[in-house]
Amino acid sequence: MKFGKKYIFFAALALLPLAAHAGLEPRASTRVTDRYGRELRAYLNGEAAGSCVPVKLQDISPWLALATVAAEDKRFFTHPGVDFRAVTRAFLQNSRSGRTVSGASTITQQLARALEPRPRTLMGKLSEMFSAFRLEAGHSKEEILEAYFNSVSYGALLTGAEAASETYFGLPAKNLSLAQAALLAGIPKSPVNYDPYKNPGAAFERQRLILRRMLDLGLLDEEYYRMALGEKVSLKERIKPFDAPQFSDYVLRHHAGAGAIKTTLDLRVQEAAEASLKNHLSELSGRNHITNGAVLVLDNATGGIIAWVGSNDFFAAANSGQVDGVTALRQPGSALKPFLYALALSRGAKTSDLLDDSPLYEAGGHTSLNYDKSYHGKVRLREALACSYNVPAVRTAQKVGVAAFLGKLHDFGFASLDKTAEYYGEGLALGNGEVTLLELTNAYAALARGGIWLPTRFEAEGRGAPARRATGRLEAYLITSVLSDNAARAPAFGLNSAFNLPFDLAGKTGTTKDYRDNWAVGFTPEWTVGVWVGNFDGSAMRKVSGITGAAPVLKDVALEMKKLYGSTSFVRPPGLRTVRVCPVSGLPPSAFCPSSIDEVFTAANLPSGQCAEHNPPQAALPVAAGKASLDFPKDGDIFRVDPQTPAAAQALFFKASGVEGEVIWNLDGRQLVERGAIVPWPLSPGRHSVYFTAEKDGRSSRSRAVRFTVVK
């Protein structure tokens, strides 16, 4: 077959290698991908969803070069940047019609407009022409054509021929067929009107027009023309990645440069976390007034971000869905207590130490209350932290000093706590400062690492920032031991809370006193999960705590992490010893202690002495009739476990009245840790017997035993 001289000339030009040139460097889009290369989002010039993949002219199909010249500027290779013949023609046609019916912009002018947008006025047009002259004076035609193919819009938020070819046809621009090239070449004239996704009829009509123009200009022969008209051009289904939007925005803000950014995020975990949050909030939202939440998952070894869910629904404007709950400042409630007790342990405290959980009246006459609205007398530090009792935490903050505690929190990366110790006061122990989920989760990851704090990272490649020690390895393990002790937290949260999983998991919740925020953070040696649940407008939830609001989401994500990444048991470091102690006194048991438990201590800080709480048994004195009595439960009562209610929310409250002194409860032959006239007991199926003993001035009196039954 024969081709005109013009066709051979233009084809040769389209394939010429290019010299290096300045001033026309393409603006590549930024593509954020997960660790496996799956695209999350794309940005161009900081705007989301834009895509541009710069290429050299030799990587553009000659058909696209020819079709573009035919469609936009047939005298491109001969004019100096402005086609005065075309300008004259357009002026006459538009004057006769009284409106704009013809344009005269050359490829060079269109490039000038793409590089520096101008208003569509006479002055704007003159400025555009002047810029076109300058481009032609400083660059070759080939350089200008290459810059054009990398700079103009091809519709659908696509800049440049390569991004357009990949999106519309799923292939690189160098492999475009004649029919595909003609379709693309028609779009820049009006990217909205000729968008083949939205206006396929107009787009393909212009394609046929361009093919005919190529034939008339001698850029192809009849055979190629007929083949192109007969080719069925199929568009690839448009997929606009929009995953992890807040994370992607965070990456864009903290990353310099363009191109592909391969991150540490795992889209599998991201999707599982999003689904868990959405499902759980849908169950609670109606009756509990919960609209939002956030989830963060970290790789403990590197600080890499595995999942980042910033909100429940990014597009829910009514609930401020575009706010990022991972970086938003909120009060953490009790979630800061582990770091307070880590400081206390580093100063000689033991997990068996008895702490006073009785009313502590502060300035103004108010006192801190526990979540269960009761006090528990003397409790071991292990119980105080595991059950998140408030008064012992405040007393501990008083002992170690708020300034020291604030300094320790800074060691753990809480940079948001930027006020003075006097500003926060002892309320810092209960979370009256504001922190981010990012800071909180990473602080718990430091505990998982044995006290080593690492900054989080999002880039899959490159070295991380330097680490630092936030607390001693032994103290970190002791705190981990408490947070993973299901029996220790059972009095407050039940035996079957969301933290009771079939593998080692250390966990802690946090709830603000007015139910505006609740949190759950859990970790294994390999990974850490943090969850926040609440409302971005600051409104209070209705009686939703960390264990019922955030912890179920954490449980789902933890199970998914176990499946995908696995986990191991916590390894006890050297320098620790296990010692039997009395659960009442926290000291080594005497011969008269009815029971003992294992407790972990540092080898340099072992308990000394012996329990003096239990004396040789004495004959129990009868309770005076009509005075002391066991009011609840009653003999013969039958209780049923409700399968529709969380197990942690089901408990009996044993009640005694008319008693003086310390009230000690005995259930099924075992002494309960809880003391007092009213104590909670998590429901457990079976037949049970309970009584109490009141001790005062060395004398004791015992109630009659009450038998009751709990059925499933």
- Sorted by sequence, the CB contacts under 8 Å of residue 540 that are 6+ apart come out as 289, 514, 515, 516
The parts of the chain modelled with pLDDT lower than 70 are 1-23, 25-26, 45-50, 90-103, 257-258, 286, 361-367, 546, 616-627, 643-645, 648-649, 712
pTM of the entire predicted model: 0.74
Number of CB atoms found within 10 A of residue 319's CB: 17
Q: What is the pLDDT of residue 648?
A: 66
Give the whole-angstrom CA distance, residue 518 versus residue 461. 34
Among 265, 239, 236, 238, CA closest to 32: 265
pLDDT in tens, 72-93: 999 999 999 898 887 777 666 6
List, as one string, the DSSP characters of 529-589: EEEEEE-TT-PPPSS--HHHHTHHHHHHHHHHHHHHH---PPPPPTTEEEEEE-TTTSS--
Ramachandran angles phi, psi of 360, nearest 5°: -125, 100
Sheet holding 527-534: strands in order across?
A: 305-309, 292-299, 527-534, 517-523, 506-511
Question: Ramachandran region of residue 328, left (φ > 0), alpha (ψ -120 to 50) or beta?
Answer: beta
- Annotation: CATH topology of 5-15+28-230: Penicillin binding protein transpeptidase fold (1.10.3810)
Q: What is the largest CA-CA distance in the chain?
A: 121
- Sorted by sequence, the CB contacts under 8 Å of residue 598 that are 6+ apart come out as 578, 579, 580, 581
| CA 125 to the chain's CA centroid | 48
Q: What is the DSSP letter of 517?
A: E
Residue limits of CATH 2.60.40.10 in the chain: 621-711
Residue limits of CATH 3.40.710.10 in the chain: 268-565
Among 142, 156, 6, 23, CA closest to 70: 6
Q: What is the pLDDT of residue 438?
A: 98
With beta carbons less than 8 A apart as the criterion, state whether 49 and 241 touch: no
- Annotation: CATH topology of 268-565: Beta-lactamase (3.40.710)
Please state which CATH class domain 621-711 belongs to.
Answer: mainly beta
Give the whole-angstrom CA distance, residue 500 versus residue 676. 27
Whole-Å CA distances, 275 to 309, 312, 697 = 10, 9, 59
Give the whole-angstrom CA distance, residue 605 versus residue 108. 80
Give the whole-angstrom CA distance, residue 445 versus residue 530. 10
With beta carbons less than 8 A apart as the criterion, state whether 516 and 540 touch: yes
Residue limits of CATH 1.10.3810.10 in the chain: 5-15+28-230
Sheet holding 47-48: strands in order across?
A: 47-48, 39-44, 30-33, 259-262
As given in the structure block, the two tokens for residue 255 are: 């990353």
Q: What is the pLDDT of residue 448?
A: 98
Q: What is the pLDDT of residue 238?
A: 78
With beta carbons less than 8 A apart as the criterion, state whether 414 and 434 touch: no
- Strand segments, DSSP code E, in 332-478 are 354-357, 377-380, 452-453, 468-469
